[in-house]
Amino acid sequence: MIPIIIIAVWEFFAIQANNPALLPRVGDVISRLVHPFTDLLNTGSFVRHIIVSASRVVLGFILAAVIGIPLGLLVGRYLLFHRLFSPIIELLRPLCPIAWIPFAMAIFKTYTIADMFGAHYTTSIFGQIQLGMLYVIFYGGFFPIFLNTVHGVKSVKHLYIESALLLGADQKKLFKKVIFPSSLPSILTGLRVGLGISWMVIIAAEMLPGSDAGIGYLIIFSYELAEMDILIASMILIGAVGALLSYGVKVLADRTSIWQAKER
Amino acid sequence: MSFLRINNIGKTFLGERKEEVIALSDLSFDCQDGEFLCIVGPTGCGKTTLLRLIAGLEQPSEGDIILADTVIQGLNREATLVFQQYSLFPWCNVIDNVCFSLEMKKIPKKTRYLEARKFINLVGLTGFEKALPYELSGGMQQRVAIARALAHNPKLLLLDEPFGALDERTRHRLQAKLLAVWQKERKTVVFVTHNIDEAIFLASRILIMRDRPGCINDEIKVDLARPRDRRSQGFLKLHIKIREVLEKILITNTNNQRGAL
């Protein structure tokens, strides 16, 4: 019901304004969306831009998970790691990832993964994954993943740990068989939130100079050329892809932790 | 030398305002191999603390605990504790819960499943191997917990009011089941409860604890033939006797409090 009202209001104002550079008609945006493979403004199609953005996010996000989860497990379990990492993490946490973007651009310039491996003129996707962008995505995804993992480990019931120890578990087995599975629901929540933030951060990062692909770039470029239909179509796509990513993690989460919701 | 010997142990905790709280003081008893020992006492007398000390989850402030000629230091690997609260791992199904200790011993999956099925059968839960704990009733969960403890094959089985949260019918059924298991496996059992009826039905010997500080007040041998009839003269006599001892403990406590005031 609500989407219909929104579309109706939009269409009403679009007809009133009668200016596609200000507010395009609903039909114009839809006709853009139904042709996802058509080249736009000589920059490539929607599909290409989304693939570029998504590969940046996925890579940066995997990096955040690979570092955030083990570190969270250690910090949550061992006081030594807690003391070592907590101060720096508390200091960095309030610093929003978007504030890092200019800094990361300045440090990493437009250096890409392909450049790292010496392939300077490549059409492969790696030529589109800038290290600076990876860094800010990593930064955006890391904190929710890390903090939720720590929280998960800290809330493992003492009863389970004592049971496992009495049943002959050593520290290694305790970690693998009790602490990790018990924190898994919390870790998956962290992954879901982290992925959402990574997806927001990448759009912002792509809007800054130094990028020539990605859905965020397409938004800012179509804004400059007053192509509002492309701009709105891109926004709809960002929402759709974000929801899809989140849904993917949720399906995974529900499958691995049915017990959590039902636990008495 | 007896199988389990508790030697003048004391346990002191630090309270919230850093004051010393004496939970147990100068507590001693012996337990023979294969004995079914029940401990009853008023709430807060330190029954759970005593079991945790025997399990090695906590260390006594004074005295020592000797199991099979070895002084317990750190975790007691020869004992398993079945907690009052439901302690099954909620992410593992029944058979993996029962298998847990076997998995820790690196026994291959096929062998340990075979072994686990024996114990699941013993507690009467065949057919529920793949169920997750949340799908089971409280009584079933405690039966799985007992099967899990038995599969570990400990020399000493410690039970902390395992049937405390169950209704009377289920409680009676599980008591009978536990006795059958005990008679078959010939384990030494220390069973804590505040239910007099439960203690008389199960125990070879009953220790009555008093509180402030927690120590053994009385010891009663139960010579009734098994299976015990709850309505028999002997059963009822013992019930009254234990009740009297517990009431006396309560009265002394109240008087002491009056004196203190």
Cα separations in angstroms, B116 against B19, B126, B175, B189, B248: 47, 10, 21, 21, 46
More confident site: B88 or A21 = B88
Calculate the average pLDDT of chain A.
Answer: 86
User: Which CATH number is B261's domain given?
Assistant: 3.40.50.300
Structural domain includes residue A199: yes
Instruction: Give the structural domain span for B258.
Output: 1-78+193-261
Structural domain includes residue B73: yes
Structural domain includes residue A138: yes
pLDDT at B99: 92
Residues of B in contact with A176 (CB under 8 A): none
Structural domain includes residue B250: yes
Structural domain includes residue A203: yes
Structural domain includes residue B161: no
Residues of A in contact with B105 (CB under 8 A): 168
Structural domain includes residue A261: no
Structural domain includes residue A20: no
Average pLDDT over residues A83-96: 87
Note which residues in 13-32 of chain B have CB less than 8 A from chain A. none
Cross-chain CB nearest to B104 (options A169, A257, A264): A169
Q: Give the single-character DSSP code of B77.
A: T
Say whether A262 and B132 touch across the interface (CB within 8 A). Answer: yes
pLDDT at A264: 44
Domain count along chain B: 1
User: Which CATH number is A36's domain given?
Assistant: 1.10.3720.10
Note which residues in 65-124 of chain B have CB less than 8 A from chain A. 75-77, 79-81, 83, 85-87, 89-92, 100-101, 103-105
Instruction: Give the structural domain span for A170.
Output: 26-254
Nearest to A162 by CA among B188, B76, B192, B120: B76
Contact in structure between B195 and B162 (CB atoms under 8 Å): no
Structure-token pair, residue A97: 């990832």
More confident site: A114 or B176 = B176
More confident site: B248 or A212 = B248
Say whether A159 and B132 touch across the interface (CB within 8 A). Answer: no
Structural domain includes residue A45: yes
Structural domain includes residue B120: no
Cα separations in angstroms, B216 against A8, A18, A107, B201, B205: 81, 92, 73, 20, 13
Structural domain includes residue B20: yes
Cross-chain CB nearest to B80 (options A166, A182, A184): A166
Structural domain includes residue A173: yes
d(CA A11, CA B166): 64
Test mutation, A167, A184, A264, chain B, max B CBs within 10 A:
A167
Structural domain includes residue A30: yes
Question: What would the pLDDT profile of B34-74 be if each residue is shown by its tens digit?
Answer: 899 999 988 888 888 999 999 999 999 888 998 888 888 88
Given a cut of 80, is residue A120 above it in pLDDT? no
DSSP string, B193-252: -S-HHHHHHH-SEEEEEETTTBEEEEEEE--PPSSPPTTSHHHHHHHHHHHHHHHHHHHH
d(CA A74, CA A152): 12
d(CA B41, CA A2): 64
A253 touches B at CB < 8 Å:
no
Average pLDDT over residues A211-222: 86
Domain count along chain A: 1
**Alpha helices, H only, chain A:** 2-17, 26-33, 46-77, 79-92, 97-108, 113-116, 131-154, 158-166, 171-174, 180-207, 215-224, 228-256, 258-262
